[in-house]
Chains A and B, each alone.
Chain A
Amino acid sequence: MIKDLKLLDVHKIRKDFPILHTTVHGKPLVYFDNAATTQKPLCVIQKEEEYYKTLNSNIHRGVHSLSQKATTAYEQAREKVLRFINASRLSEIIITKGTTDSINLVASSFGKKFIKEGDEIIISHLEHHSNIVPWQLLCEEKKAVLKVIPINDKGEIIFEAFEKLISEKTKFISVVYVSNSLGTVNPVKEIIQLAHSKNIPVLIDAAQAIQHFKIDVQGLDCDFLAFSGHKLYAPTGVGILYGKEKYLEDMPPYQGGGDMIESVTFEKTTYNSLPYKFEAGTPNIAGVIGMGMAIDYLNELGMDLISSYEKDLFEYANAKLSAVEKLKPIGTADQKLSVFSFMLEGIHPHDIGTILDFDGIAIRTGHHCTQPVMQRFGIPATARISISFYNTKEEIDFTADALKKVFEVFG
């Protein structure tokens, strides 16, 4: 077989993102806060604009042409998501506001029906607050117990500890695919296999995974998968919950309102079929259509090419940045991608963020909504560089030099 020599042309790709050609403090923007949100290609921006200019109307309601066209465009976006994650049924693709909304939906609805006093729910120490707090709220309400898979000094979950945590009492497992603060890639396939051998459903938080590599929900066999549009080069305020029909059918509605009903009387309301049962109210229609466009854009570039470009760039960044004097990487997992979290000796991450900003470099500083991870490493915060396929090696070099300047400021 001939090896595919096709490579991403990053300079051509950068032309698709208008914001990458703006300046900050008079310097060209170097955007390294991709784990917080990704920038949007022009086609996505235009798609949203086009919707408001030519299609705007409410979906699933009117018999008039505009409403039907808007409904078609909206439902096409759902089909694009289905193919993107290789799901098999549209009924299993629920459109939400984002990852947080998706996880809350499951915690609330699955929890209401299936979690009882004394039951146990397992998460990992790597979770974002959005995959901790919904489960804590549920456990509090139901008097259930939250169990946490510990991590080692490299920031990897300790699988043997997970094996020991699983018991007869375990009723649900919710784990992150890729850590947003350390970049650790969790062995989710192994977690799912072990959970399934004991008939425990698993939710995968794919907020930091979906934009970096191909995800096949049937191959993974996860029971739920949650992600946000805005980290997938799509607008904010839209996201996806994939769920297996066998669970979704038995789960009660999350929110009540328009669109999620079949018939309403004051005596009895019957609910709409899946996925609409979980989609109350008028959604962010333009955003969802924009997400469909973002998926088209990524498919055109090719997720495999994106993965290999990002892998190469990340290895380069890892080597280059780790070599900066007095820099200490936080999180050194063997399986790691996109996220480079670090400390500079004697300098608070917040100060690093302000000083880099003067060179036009946007990084995230803080606890990244993962306070337990920070506590595990005994630090209040880190500085975080997170890459995308539109970043370049030149930007990494420029940032490594800018980091040296931080020490100049502090003398």
Chain B
Amino acid sequence: MDSELRELYQQVILDHNKSPRNFKKLEDANHHAEGHNPLCGDHLDVYLQLENDVVKDISFIGNGCAISKSSASLMTAIVKGKTKEEAEHLFEKFHDLVTGNLKDANEIEALGKLAVFQGVQEFPARVKCASLAWHTLHNALNNKEEKISTE
């Protein structure tokens, strides 16, 4: 199999696609946002329980390709317990990573498991799949209830 393809569909991504973490509706959420990518029909809801600007709990539900689903899953795992500011910072770095603008090896390493999405930069058509969950999280954090679209 092509190495570039394996680079995109890494084991971690396939695993999170198959068994997404925090894949449920958070009943006691106090923040929520809906994200949509009309290009491929990806659609997800992010639920947050935000206390004093700390993400106490987070979940998502939705429908999407392996990249978008695993990205949402990994995001929820990593953002839980982080402050709003930290989460926003991660989004910024993650966005740089998938668009190929994060070059520094240390910075990439600092992203932990999120670094598996580095392969996405070779697939411009898939950047929106990887970042949909993060855009939606950003809106949920800022309590923008309106539906966001990555198109």
Contact = CB atoms under 8 A, between A and B. Distances in A.
B40 A409 contact: no
A302 interface: no
A371 B38 CA distance: 9
B67 A380 contact: no
Interface in A363-411: 365-367, 371, 374, 380-381, 405, 408-411
Given A354-B8, A409-B9, A410-B14, A348 B65 contact: yes
A380 B5 contact: no
B42 interface: yes
Contact of B64 (A348, A355, A367, A408): A348
Interface string B58-77: 00000111110100000000
A380 B8 contact: no
B41 A351 contact: no
A358 interface: yes
A367 B67 contact: no
Interface in A332-356: 347-351, 354-355
B63 A380 contact: yes
Interface residues of A, number: 21
Nearest to B123: A354
B1 interface: yes
A357 to B, nearest CB: 9
A25 interface: yes
B65 A351 contact: yes
B123 A380 contact: no
A349 B64 CA distance: 9
A358 B4 contact: yes
B1 A405 contact: yes
A411 B9 CA distance: 11
Given A348-B66, A380-B42, A380-B43, A354 B1 contact: no
Contacts of B40: 348-350, 365-367, 380-381
Interface in A1-45: 25
B44 to A, nearest CB: 11
Contacts of B125: 354
Contacts of A380: 40-43, 63-64
B65 A374 contact: no
Given A351-B66, A354-B126, A405-B1, A410 B41 contact: no
A355 B5 contact: yes
A410 B1 CA distance: 12
Nearest to A371: B41
B65 A350 contact: yes
Contact of A409 (B5, B41, B63): B5
Given A380-B63, A409-B1, A410-B9, A374 B126 contact: no
B108 to A, nearest CB: 22
A348 B67 CA distance: 10
Contacts of B43: 380
B24 to A, nearest CB: 19
A120 B65 CA distance: 39
Interface centre among A348, A380, A381 (most CB of B within 10 A): A348
Interface string B21-42: 0000000000000000011111
Nearest to B62: A380
Interface string B115-151: 0000000010110010000000000000000000000
Given A348-B64, A408-B1, A409-B6, 15 more contacts: A25-B2, A348-B65, A348-B69, A350-B129, A351-B9, A351-B66, A354-B123, A354-B126, A358-B4, A365-B40, A380-B40, A405-B1, A409-B1, A410-B66, A411-B14
8 contacts: A348-B65, A350-B42, A351-B66, A365-B40, A366-B39, A380-B42, A380-B63, A405-B1
